[in-house]
Amino acid sequence: MVRPIIAPSILASDFANLGCECHKVIDSGAEWLHIDVMDGHFVPNITLGQPIVTSLRRSVPRSGAHSAFFDCHMMVESPEKWVEDFAKCGADQFTFHYESTKNPLELVKLIKSHGMKAACAIKPGTPVDVLFELAPHLDMALVMTVEPGFGGQKFMADMMPKVETLRAKFPHMNIQVDGGLGKETIPQAAKAGANVIVAGTSVFTAADPAEVISFMKGEVAK
């Protein structure tokens, strides 16, 4: 069976204290950090790029104390342009959007040839069947539960049938959900079959992030 993984989205952190903020959620039980890269073209917002990922990698290594897996969610046009750079700056996984590329399988191969895990995301308006052929080549599929572009939006429960369909067809695949996840919405996502949970606002603004992370892990493990 797939295991529960909580991936706090650093978009909801205090960027002036990024290293400490990340150490805080890692010490609270997060094994992954979800890094939202937006280019102002694929989505109407700009966030962060290679210099920040490079600095963060120095402060959050791949193993040992304060370590985490860097899950980079690339909300960019022409994602193929950024594969080499993100591999160099320390990304562990490169998630591209199905809607952003003409040849997803070639992109998966390129990502893997640079030593990263390859994942594919679909926006709320994209049907899940576009992933069926690609899925056996992927390390993870991401079903967006908000329109990509901003943190702090409302969870779209009507995306859960996509998760259920993927889980039924691919019982061993990592299936990620992203957007509006917290203690109220995790039961629906977990029941549908998601095992990799992105949570920005609900983790970074929590008085007790360890409690939120452990609650979410528990729901996925049920």
**Residue numbers of the site for ligand DX5 (CB under 6 A)?**
9, 11-12, 34, 36, 73, 146, 148-153, 178-181, 198-202
Within 13 Å and on the Cβ side, how many CA atoms surround 41?
A: 9
Q: Taking the complex as a whole, how short is the minimal distance between the CB of residue 34 and ligand DX5, in angstroms?
A: 6
40 is in an annotated binding site: no
What is the dihedral angle through the alpha carbons of 43, 54, 57, 91, rounded to the nearest 10 degrees? Answer: 50
180 is in an annotated binding site: yes
Joined tokens for residue 6: 């909580």
Residues 6 or more apart in contact with residue 159 via CB below 8 angstroms: 124, 143, 144, 145, 177
- 200, interface contact from Zn ion, ligand DX5, none, CB < 5-8 Å by kind: ligand DX5
Q: Taking the complex as a whole, how short is the minimal distance between the CB of residue 64 and Zn ion, in angstroms?
A: 26
Please indicate whether residue 36 is annotated as part of the active site: yes
Residues 6 or more apart in contact with residue 70 via CB below 8 angstroms: 32, 33, 35, 53, 56, 57, 60, 90, 91, 92, 93
- 201, interface contact from Zn ion, ligand DX5, none, CB < 5-8 Å by kind: ligand DX5
User: What is the x/- site pattern for Zn ion, positions 48-87, by CB under 5 A?
Assistant: -------------------------x--------------
| Active-site hit among 39, 71, 139, 178 | 178
Strand partners, 178: 144, 198
Of the listed pieces 57-65, 84-92, 170-178, 184-192, which binds Zn ion according to CB under 5 A?
A: 170-178
What's the CA gap between 26 and 90, in Å, rounded?
Answer: 17
Considering the complex, state which of residue 105 and residue 183 has its C-beta at the smaller distance from ligand DX5.
183
Strand partners, 7: 198
Tell me the C-alpha to C-alpha distance, in Å, between residue 187 and each of 17, 68, 166.
31, 25, 17
| One residue of 21, 39, 92, 178 binding Zn ion per CB under 5 A | 178
Angle at 137 between CA 136 and CA 143, to 5 degrees: 75
Please indicate whether residue 178 is annotated as part of the active site: yes
Considering the complex, state which of residue 189 and residue 199 has its C-beta at the smaller distance from ligand DX5.
199
Q: Taking the complex as a whole, how short is the minimal distance between the CB of residue 9 and ligand DX5, in angstroms?
A: 4
What's the CA gap between 156 and 118, in Å, rounded?
Answer: 25
Q: Taking the complex as a whole, how short is the minimal distance between the CB of residue 98 and ligand DX5, in angstroms?
A: 14
90 is in an annotated binding site: no
Give catalytic residue positions: 36, 178
Q: From the annotation, which residues make up the binding site for substrate?
A: 9, 73, 149-152, 180, 200-201
